[in-house]
Amino acid sequence: MNTYHVDTRDKTDKRYLARCLSQLKSWGAPTDGWYCTEVIDVREDDPEAPLSECELCGCKDVRYEHIMQHDYYFEPVTVGCICAGIMEGSILRARKRERMLRNRSRRRKNFIKRRWVRSDRNICYRRYRNQDIYIFEGTRNYTVKVGWYGTSTYKGRPINNFLSAVYAAFDLADPKGEIL
């Protein structure tokens, strides 16, 4: 076995870790005890949206932003997966969060493509993950119902088209809160 590559990679990882911890110290921020409050897919609604930049290491190719919070630091820090793992002390946990959001993103993409059944009363319905999903078309707006939960807004706005109603239905049927 060639140990040269293993040693080089280990040194690179240690340098990256040291650089991230050094950046936190330069801000006067704690180096441990951070926790993730939210993970955001910057390309959730627009596949052509620009990628984000990690506030800790400066990487400009961050698609899944981990919002890190600390009880003794005055503001949240938006970072990529590896930096989030360094801040919270578990890269595996950060990778698991990102993998779950990546899988949810794929499910969402497939959910949009699937067919809906339209009843004679202008009600569209289908099943997803053992749940009945209904989209009610009103005169100007749409209402979505999944189980006991319903909404007539998507991202704070009234739902006025079928595609927004489908997105709202997915968010109700497959909530993002299960990722954290």
**Residue where a domain terminates, one of 107, 132, 163:** 107
> Do both 125 and 61 map to the same domain?
no
Q: What is the pLDDT of residues 97-145, one digit of tens each?
A: 999 999 999 999 999 999 999 988 889 999 999 999 999 998 889 999 9
**Where in the sequence is the domain holding 71, given as residue range(s)?**
3-107
Phi, psi for residue 56 in degrees, rounded to 5: -90, -50
Cβ atoms within 10 Å of 140's Cβ, excluding its own: 8
> Do both 136 and 73 map to the same domain?
no
Q: Which residues contact 66 (CB under 8 A, 6 or more apart)?
A: 36, 38, 39, 78, 79, 80, 81, 83, 84, 94, 97, 98
> Do both 157 and 75 map to the same domain?
no
DSSP string, 91-156: HHHHHHHHHHHHHHHHHHHHHHHS--EE-TTSEEEEEETTEEEEEEE-SS-EEEEETTEEESEETT
Average pLDDT, the chain: 88
State pTM to two decimals.
0.81
> Do both 102 and 37 map to the same domain?
yes
> Do both 89 and 124 map to the same domain?
no
Q: What is the pLDDT of residues 10-37, one digit of tens each?
A: 555 888 889 999 999 999 999 999 999 9
> Do both 49 and 11 map to the same domain?
yes
> Do both 37 and 119 map to the same domain?
no
> What's the number of domains the chain is made of?
2
> Do both 82 and 97 map to the same domain?
yes
- 98 within 8 A of 88, measured Cβ to Cβ: no
What does the block give as tokens for 132? 């009945």
> Do both 10 and 87 map to the same domain?
yes
**pLDDT for residue 120:** 83
> Do both 101 and 30 map to the same domain?
yes
**Residue where a domain terminates, one of 74, 107, 140:** 107
Q: Which residues contact 106 (CB under 8 A, 6 or more apart)?
A: none
